[in-house]
Amino acid sequence: MLLDNGNLVLRDEEDEITTNYLWESFDYPINTLLPRMKLGWDLKTGLNRHLSSGPCYGDFTYGIEVDEEHHTYPQLAVRNGSRILYRQGLLDGLTSSSIESSLSDEFVYNDDEVYYTYTLLNKSMMPAIVLDLRGSIEYLGIWAFFENRDKCDSYGFCGPNSQCINVTEREEPICQCLKGFKPKNEDNWNSSLGQKGVRDTALQAAMMKRKKDLIII
């Protein structure tokens, strides 16, 4: 049976609950997310609903990352194989930095599943979220972008042991060292290229002290 939202479903005709499906195509998206499709995990069955460009085009995937080990909020992320290209903010139920504001976003996280979905604010529109062959996300029917709009979403933009801070949408992001670290290159630290890296000042001081304590015989 093909539903009005484009979901192809199989169901037991003797089952009185019409929303009980034996199988549904929305559980197996390829590279397109339609309204009311779920992007995320069924935590009971282990089903991971994610978009994929296919291995012939770089093996890009787009889905929800769950880091249970570090107890962080789930995030929408694009990967190229095992490498994270960029992330689209924390899904904490309050804010999300890069999801299109023309859509009504919904995030569900409970014992059974964790997923992102969206509905239409303008019923006359029929947009779709598409993962293209270059690993970019396009919002067809609204607008398209071919580069991550928020540079702080780019994974590791400022390098290790640092944090990326957005000031305004028109200004370049600011990279800051974490406590106990300092820039490797003070002059280029806040250039738009990012990934300048930092060094551990405490470790450097300890190494200098160790050199002074050495006794040469």
Q: 11-15, 20-24, 55-59, 125-129 — which is least confidently predicted?
A: 55-59
* 173 shares its domain with 73: no
107 exposure class (CB count in 10 Å sphere: 0-12, 13-18, 19+)? buried
- Give the largest CA-CA distance in the chain: 91
141 found inside a domain: yes
- What's the CA angle centered on 80, arms 74 and 81, to 5 degrees? 90
12 found inside a domain: no
Q: What is the model's pLDDT at position 5?
A: 84
DSSP 149: S
Between 182 and 9, the more confident residue is 9
* 45 shares its domain with 120: yes
**Residue 201 main-chain phi, psi, to 5 deg:** -70, -35
pLDDT tens by residue, 21-67? 999 999 999 999 998 999 999 999 999 999 998 766 668 999 998 87
| For residues 195-213, average pLDDT | 51
Model confidence at 135, pLDDT cuts 50, 70, 90, reads confident
- What's the CA angle centered on 120, arms 117 and 121, to 5 degrees? 125
Q: How far is CA 217 from the centre of its chain?
A: 57
Between 23 and 73, the more confident residue is 23
Distance, in Å, from the CA atom of 181 to the CA atom of 154, rounded to the nearest integer, reads 21
Structural domain of 47: 30-148
* 144 shares its domain with 167: no
56 found inside a domain: yes
Distance, in Å, from the CA atom of 107 to the CA atom of 104, rounded to the nearest integer, reads 10
The total number of structural domains that make up the chain: 2
Which of 64, 19, 61, 21 shows the shortest CA–CA distance to 39?
64
Query: What is the percentage of the chain residues whose pLDDT exceeds 70?
Result: 62
pLDDT above 90 (res 181): no
> Which pTM value belongs to this model?
0.65
Query: Which DSSP string do the residues of 45-61 spell out, in sequence order?
Result: TTEEE-EE--GGGT-EE
pLDDT tens by residue, 147-176? 445 667 777 777 788 887 766 655 666 788
